[in-house]
Structure formats: structure tokens, C-alpha cells
Structure 1
């Protein structure tokens, strides 16, 4: 097998805008079919991407010409459909968060591993080379010893009928945008982050923003800020003994975006231009290659560590 035969469970915007084009561009992936509960919607999307429409998710999972599925459904539905897909012997790429609790996440990770199936949570930003370029800059000592790190991801208010304002569908800012600064904090500072404090702001029946204070094992103070109630922000900052580094457009840069790092040193300000990259196609290809090489279990610790951290953040906010 030189290509993974993929099925898509749902026609959400993230699928049509990002992942279906990414799978089309990934050499190791081939989308066979897309499913929707609405036949007309499935036909419309399938026609756009040159695949077969399927009415109903169960019908797609029962097909023998599909090796893996991509799940872009609302967060509250991720666990049940991921479990069904694993039960049908399908590899799974599921939109974040994989589930809404650490217990559910750990259970699904174990199930997939026991069956020898690849299970991935679809964070795309780690597949952009800009973050490893930043890591190399930090490791070079350009800003000296790192003392603090801050990450922000915020989006403007959404339409009142958006599913992210529906608690029963797994809505809320923490699950939708908050997981990004938490995940990037783990990316640079390791999975074992202690939660020192957390605050969540509520409106429309869900959390619409929040702040988290963390500490790494080597004593770096980490702050994560997120929300869906103000202007767009997508960045992270390192503060060191000899300078300050900032990366903008950290989480959702377009493939043609020219990333750059801002540096404030003791005696100068500097801008470093980084390489362009396509994190969407990279993420699609990474999943497909994991399936083709039978790399099940790879990345499991990242999935469970983030789910555990989110649980601890929610508990800290409830105590505040």
C-alpha cells in the first residue's frame, strides 16, 4: 500500500477549508469518501474534492475500502465516533480535543494501541518548521537563560449560534483555543507542567476566555491566555536573562505566510526571517505516513499529557 485510503466523518468547515485540501496535497493520502447525515451536503463536498458521498457515518465506517478516518465533528462527539472507528479497525485522525476528559482520552489511546491502530489528535501547528527554528534559537543562547514563557491564542466573538457556545457539544474557549497555548507550552517546556492557578470567564453558558499560570520542572514560569471575546491574537514570547523573543502567527499560519521572529536584546532589536511551511499538508502527510509505517502508539504520551493538563486546569479554575 502506497497511499492510505481515507474517509471523512462530517463536512465541518475545518474539513472543507483545511484538511480535505491538505489530504489532496499529501502524497501518502487518498480520500475515498466523505460522509454526512445530510445527503445533499455529502454530495456537494464529495463533488468538490473528487470523492464519493456517503449518507451516515456508520455506513462509511463499515466500508472495506477505507483504512483510516478523519473526524472533524463537534468535540462532544469525538469520543463516541473515535471509539466506533477503532472498533471497526480504522486508524483515526480526530480534531482536537480528542475527548473532553483525560479518562476518556486515556481509554481511547489504550484501545487503539491494543488493536495496533494509529490514533492522532489533529494539532497542526507542531508540524510547522518555525517552532523547531525557534527552539534552535533558544538553545543557541541568543536570549540567555529562559526565565518565563507566555502564549496567547484569542479570536473575536463568534455568531451566537456557533457550536462553540453550546456546552452540550463540548463548546467553550478552553477546548477550542485554550488547548493551543497549553500544547505549545508542553512543546517547549515538557509535559510535566504544574498548574499554579487558573481562571475561566463564562458567558453564553460556556467559558469564553481564561488565563493559566504554570511552572515547568526547571522553574520556568509559563502563562497561557486564551479567549473568544476580543481581537485576534496568536503568539508566544520567551523572556531570558539577555533578551526577549516573540513569534507571531504561531498557530494557524497560511502556507504562504512568511514567518519571522522578533528579538529584543540588550543593545539591539532584530528581526529574523524564517522559512515558509505548510503545516496543514505536513500534518496530513505525517498521519498517513504513520499509518503506512505502522507507527501506532507514536505520540500517545503527548495526547494523554495534554488531556491531563486540561483536566487539571479546569479543576484549578473551579477552586478559584
Structure 2
């Protein structure tokens, strides 16, 4: 069959380190266009991988008519670009958070449906080997029911990661709308929903800007969650873990505890009440310093090639976004918020 012709919209760090190299490594893909308002960035990738460079995505969609696009732009642009791409007949892989409001997320899902294209959200944490292993262990039943949990994602912030450093769009409220919660918190709301096969019923949150200067977006959030199953736990997102990244989850269950991402070599540790300890070396979780293949690109391309439903659908992205939006509402109102009320 002919290759999937892919355009990448937005040529910042997430494209540079994840999307572009992973598309380039996929035998079913031809990279045909790169879009960035800083045209030199797009040109650099076009020279490297072939394809055309554009400063404007609408011109690209009309001229190139790609089969699929990756939307790797500031959060506030995700919805408009994804909807335009869907209307142009392209499958869409959008970075997280998929949108900045529930109405936007709904409109994106509808646009994909109306135009017969796939919509996938780049929640890569589901595909990281330690998380896949942890879900398998949970589903085996050996730990029994999850009673309580804590899940945390923190690093020193986008100033260390973004191509624009401290001048990054991540810090501009009108482009990002949300900070650490949109960057890291939504990864964790997605992970906990997926791993526990459960939905967040209620959330209370402190969300604020504690240390990053010259920005109105949040750099820290601490949330308390009650799941539909009754399990309770905490979710933390931070851009001020200056001594290194933490992406860990601990689940306390009826029959023991499972620790994920707490140890550099034993990525999943299961300690049962009967004294048994199992340690699993299953491959690392990707960090900003050390990029592992995310699996997201391959899963997206597979769904196009095989005509299957994307691994992380628009509906899933919407449900995970909703949790984060409710956390902001909790901060604003000082109340616990019922999710999906």
C-alpha cells in the first residue's frame, strides 16, 4: 500500500524529540510537510526529511492535502487546527491536553466523526512499558482492589525543555491557558483513569503559581481524587522539581502495594502482604533528559493503516481533560467538584 502522508504542525521540542523522529522511523510514513510560524524551524526539518515547509497550516492543508497531521502547537490552538485538519480529510493526532475546554474537545470529536477521520490524543503515559506492566498486574487480580493511590509528575519546567526556554508559549496564559496541569497533570488524570479502569468522581485541588516568575499559568497543583469505585488518592503536577524529574505512581491495594517509577532499575515493584516481593525491569519511562520511543506515533499510524480505532481516542482525551478543568474549578470555588456531573 502507499505510505501515509503526514504533516507536522508546530516544530517545537515535542516534534523535534518525539513526533518527527518517530514518524521518520516508521516504514509506513512519508513526511510531506512541516508547519511553524518561525519558518526556519519548519525548513530545517524539511531539509532533513524531505517535504515542504510552511508558516501557515491552512495553506499547507490546501496545498499538500496530507493523509494525517500531528498537531504540536500551543494548547489554545489545538482545537481550531484539529478541526480544520479533519475538515480537510486528514486523520489527527493532537498533543495533550487535547483542548482547553470541554466544548472544544466535543467539537473536535464531532469534526472527526463528521469527516470520517481518526482523532487520537498523545497521552503517551499509557504506552510506557512500566505502566503497561502495572496494568497487567492489576488486571491479574493478585493485588485485589485498589484502595488508595498517589500519582505524581514533576520536573524543573518548560524553561529547561522548550525550544524557546523561559520565553516559551508554555508561560503565556493566552496561548497555554494552563501550566503544569495542562502539561503534566493531564498525563496523570489520564493514567489513573486508564490504569484503574475507573473514572474520577470528585476532585478537590490547590492550583497555583508558586515560583516561576513573570507568568500567570500554574506551576504547581496538588489534588485529592475520589474514584467511582470509592478509591481515594492524590495527583500532583509540578514545574518546580528542580532536583530532577519524578513520574511515579504508588497503588495501595487489599493484598499489597505496587510502586511504579520509584526505582531507577526496577520500574515496577510489587510487595504483597504475604511477604512476596516481585521486581520487574521492563524498560524505562521516558524523561525530558532521556527520550524513549513514546509508542504514540506507531499506534496512530497502525490505526490508519489497519483501519482500527485509535489507542487513545478523542473521548478518552476529553474525559482526562475534564478532570483537570474540574481541578481549576475547585481552586476557584474552594469546593470539591463532581466530575461528569
Query: What TM-score, normalized to structure 2?
Result: 0.84
Question: Which residue in 2 is equivalent to 1:174?
Answer: 181
Whether the 8 Å contact between 1:78 and 1:94 is mirrored in structure 2 is yes
1:272 Cα deviation after fit: 2.1
**Larger displacement relative to structure 2 (166-175 or 257-266):** 257-266
| 1:203-242 alignment runs, 5 A limit | 203=210, 204-230=215-241, 231=243, 232-242=245-255
| 1:136-285 alignment runs, 5 A limit | 136-159=136-159, 160-170=166-176, 171-190=178-197, 192-203=199-210, 204-230=215-241, 231=243, 232-248=245-261, 260-266=267-273, 267=275, 269-274=277-282, 280=293, 282-285=295-298
**Larger displacement relative to structure 2 (232-241 or 49-58):** 49-58
Encode CA deviations 1:214-248: one digit per residue, 9 max, x unaligned: 12222111311111012421111111233211111
Encode CA deviations 1:82-106: one digit per residue, 9 max, x unaligned: 1221222211111111110111101
Structure with greater proportional strand content: 1
For residues 185 and 37 of structure 2, the distance between their equivalents in structure 1, rounded to whole angstroms, comes to 29
| 1:21-170 alignment runs, 5 A limit | 21-159=21-159, 160-170=166-176
| Distance change in 2, residues 1:157/1:123 (3 Å) | closer
1:64 Cα deviation after fit: 4.3
Encode CA deviations 1:43-68: one digit per residue, 9 max, x unaligned: 21222233332342222111345111
Q: Which runs of 5+ in 1 are unaligned?
A: 251-256
| Distance change in 2, residues 1:97/1:20 (3 Å) | same
Whether the 8 Å contact between 1:235 and 1:249 is mirrored in structure 2 is yes
| Distance change in 2, residues 1:259/1:86 (3 Å) | farther
In the alignment of these two chains, the number of paired residues is 314
For residues 315 and 195 of structure 1, the distance between their equivalents in structure 2, rounded to whole angstroms, comes to 12
RMSD: 2.5
Question: Which residue in 1 is equivalent to 2:329?
Answer: 315
Moved over 6 A (4+): 276-279
Whether the 8 Å contact between 1:2 and 1:292 is mirrored in structure 2 is no
Whether the 8 Å contact between 1:29 and 1:285 is mirrored in structure 2 is no
1:318 Cα deviation after fit: 1.3
Secondary structure of the residue aligned to 2:63 is coil
* 2:312 pairs with 1:302: no
Question: Which residue in 1 is equivalent to 2:6?
Answer: 6
Whether the 8 Å contact between 1:152 and 1:224 is mirrored in structure 2 is yes
Q: Which runs of 5+ in 2 are unaligned?
A: 160-165, 287-291, 335-341
**Larger displacement relative to structure 2 (55-64 or 176-185):** 55-64
1:157 Cα deviation after fit: 4.0
| Distance change in 2, residues 1:259/1:106 (3 Å) | farther
For residues 196 and 138 of structure 2, the distance between their equivalents in structure 1, rounded to whole angstroms, comes to 12
